[in-house]
A and B are shown apart, each in its own frame.
Chain A
Amino acid sequence: GNSVTQMEGPVTLSEEAFLTINCTYTATGYPSLFWYVQYPGEGLQLLLKATKADDKGSNKGFEATYRKETTSFHLEKGSVQVSDSAVYFCALGISSGSARQLTFGSGTQLTVLP
Chain B
Amino acid sequence: NAGVTQTPKFQVLKTGQSMTLQCAQDMNHNSMYWYRQDPGMGLRLIYYSASEGTTDKGEVPNGYNVSRLNKREFSLRLESAAPSQTSVYFCASRSTGTGNTIYFGEGSWLTVV
Spell out A's residues near B (CB within 8 Å).
4, 32, 36, 42-46, 49, 51, 89, 93, 97-102, 104-107
Contacts and interface: CB of A to CB of B under 8 A. Distances in A.
Interface residues of B, number: 27
Nearest to B88: A43
Nearest to B42: A104
Contacts of B51: 98
B90 A44 contact: yes
Interface of B: 4, 30-31, 33, 40-45, 48-51, 56, 58, 90, 94, 99-107
B43 A89 contact: yes
Main secondary structure of the interface of A (DSSP, over half): strand
A111 B50 CA distance: 37
B50 A43 contact: no
Contacts of B58: 101
Contact of A101 (B42, B45, B103): B45
Nearest to B50: A99
Contacts of A4: 42
Given A4-B42, A102-B43, A107-B42, 17 more contacts: A32-B99, A36-B104, A43-B4, A46-B102, A89-B43, A97-B56, A98-B30, A98-B50, A98-B51, A100-B100, A101-B48, A101-B58, A102-B45, A104-B42, A104-B43, A104-B44, A105-B42
